[in-house]
Amino acid sequence: MKILVINPGSTSTKLAVYEDLEQVWRESVFHSAKELARFHHINEQYEYRRMHVLDALQRAGIPMAFDAIIGRGGLLRPTPGGVYQINEQIKYDLWHASVEHASNLAAPMADEFASQIGCPSFIADPVVTDELRDVARFSGIPEIPRQSVFHALNSRAVSRRYAASIQKHYEELDLVVAHLGGGISVSAHRHGKVVDVNNALDGEGPFSPERAGTIPARQLVDLCFSGKYTQKEIHKMLNGRGGLLAYLGTTDVQTIVRWVHAGNVRHKQVLEAMVYTVAKQIGAMHVALHGHTDAIILTGGIAHNAYVVSLLREWIEGLARIVVIPGEDEMGALAMNALGVLKGELPLQKYEAIDNG
Ligand SMILES: Nc1ncnc2c1ncn2[C@@H]1O[C@H](COP(=O)(O)OP(=O)(O)OP(=O)(O)O)[C@@H](O)[C@H]1O
Ligand SMILES: CCCC(=O)O
């Protein structure tokens, strides 16, 4: 089976072709900040990115002939994880999503190409995957229900990989997965369902390279009404220019670790503070699993860094077995999901929004 995978990110559009589970081609089309500056809304990038995808396929001599096309799920309404056939509702919700995210472009693009060649188009485990326990939905303010927004695709893929490595099914295990990337999410997987997680886009949980985590609410409200900042600027403080970037002027953990090793006290202090917030979130998710966690999986780009992993281990050693699966394989996970459906091994989900009120 031949599968095209489309994964638009903030600075690149990643593409790959799989023959069954074997990746036979991949390309990451880089979009410079200068090129993107002319677009005022993510939807305006659709045609530009679509042309880049067609161009990349043409340059590689790959004909538009696939058994399925799968895109990364975007900021849909809350929905359980799994594989979804792209339909009009999905495309409508992504086009009108309240949060702009490059992944919102994947499904409309996958569906447009698929309808031209007459193959099915899918998304899988979108970032809005919502399997929260009811008890986890309460924030303390009825108008502000908690929402599940996290690195669902990679967190589930590494969980399945770990389960397979110990000859178990993912659905048999209780896992805490800390995805340590530009954003950080720490999710509690109870027998295959993500029953709690910090909302990694909206100022909840640990702070990360580019995002503020949970912040003192009253002080934030005061800042909002101080007249010093626009709403957009405050949003950027929470997501985009928060976290390590706000404290140290970079999102690059490798560079920060080099500064730490060179004796820079401020870099050490801030990095340790970030790790501390991650450790506390891991502790909270361990409790969400009733203190019974089969393994804590550390994944995402930062998990490549042995020094950061050692700092984290100091806090969480003893809670459960720690497994490090660095980086991410979203492209492989998407291909695996499409193949699973084509072979009838995975069910197709129906996209219906959860009433999160
Ligand atoms: N090999 C590596 N060693 C150490 N740190 C790394 C390595 N690769 C990436 N990182 C760090 O990981 C962070 C980015 O992680 P990643 O690439 O997973 O993020 P992203 O894909 O941009 O965002 P997200 O994972 O939230 O979607 C950066 O701080 C980067 O410095
Ligand atoms: C919240 C998951 C996706 C991202 O970090 O952008």
Q: Whose CA is nearest to atom 5 of ligand 2?
A: 183
Q: Partners of 28 in the beta sheet? A: 14
Cα dist. 143→137, 138, 140, 234, 356 in Å?
A: 11, 10, 9, 20, 10
Residues 6+ apart with CB under 8 A from 288: 133, 136, 188, 190, 195, 196
Asked if residue 339 and residue 314 are part of one domain, the reply reads no
Check: CB of residue 154 under 8 Å from CB of residue 298.
Answer: no
Quote the pLDDT of residue 37.
Answer: 86
Candidates 70, 76, 65; CA nearest to 101 is 76
Is the shortest distance between the CB of 127 and ligand 2 below 6 Å?
yes
Asked if residue 195 and residue 285 are part of one domain, the reply reads yes
How many residues are present in the chain? 357
d(CA 303, ligand 1 centre) in Å: 8
**Structural domain count of the chain:** 2
Quote the pLDDT of residue 354.
Answer: 53
| Domain assignment present for 146 | no
Quote the pLDDT of residue 296.
Answer: 98
Check: CB of residue 123 under 8 Å from CB of residue 72.
Answer: yes
Is the shortest distance between the CB of 75 and ligand 2 below 6 Å?
no
Asked if residue 308 and residue 253 are part of one domain, the reply reads yes
| Domain assignment present for 355 | no
Asked if residue 315 and residue 169 are part of one domain, the reply reads yes
Check: CB of residue 247 under 8 Å from CB of residue 270.
Answer: yes
| Domain assignment present for 138 | no
CATH number at residue 299: 3.30.420.40
Q: Partners of 125 in the beta sheet? A: none
Quote the pLDDT of residue 36.
Answer: 86
| Domain assignment present for 308 | yes
Q: Could you count the other beta carbons within 10 Å of the beta carbon of residue 54?
A: 13
Query: What sign has the CA pseudo-torsion 223, 228, 231, 236?
Result: negative
| Domain assignment present for 117 | yes
Asked if residue 180 and residue 116 are part of one domain, the reply reads no
What residue numbers bound the domain in which 69 lies?
2-131+331-349
Asked if residue 29 and residue 8 are part of one domain, the reply reads yes
Asked if residue 235 and residue 160 are part of one domain, the reply reads yes
Quote the pLDDT of residue 357.
Answer: 47
Asked if residue 76 and residue 210 are part of one domain, the reply reads no
SS3 98: coil
Candidates 21, 24, 46; CA nearest to 36 is 46
Quote the pLDDT of residue 149.
Answer: 95
ipTM value, please give it. Answer: 0.96
Tens of each residue's pLDDT in the chain, 357 residues: 999 999 998 778 999 999 999 999 999 998 887 888 899 999 999 999 999 999 999 999 999 999 999 999 999 999 999 999 999 999 999 999 988 899 999 999 999 999 999 999 999 999 999 999 999 999 999 999 999 999 999 999 999 999 999 999 999 999 999 999 999 999 999 999 999 999 999 889 999 999 999 999 999 999 999 999 999 999 999 998 999 999 999 999 999 999 999 999 999 999 999 999 999 999 999 999 999 999 999 999 999 999 999 999 999 999 999 999 999 999 999 999 999 999 999 999 989 755 544
d(CA 103, ligand 2 centre) in Å: 9
Asked if residue 121 and residue 27 are part of one domain, the reply reads yes
Sequence letter at residue 98:
S
Q: Which two tokens stand for residue 171?
A: 């659905």
Asked if residue 157 and residue 121 are part of one domain, the reply reads no
Is the shortest distance between the CB of 119 and ligand 2 below 6 Å?
no
Asked if residue 157 and residue 125 are part of one domain, the reply reads no
Residues with CB under 6 A from ligand 1: 181-183, 209, 251-254, 300-302, 304-305, 328
| Domain assignment present for 8 | yes
Asked if residue 163 and residue 196 are part of one domain, the reply reads yes
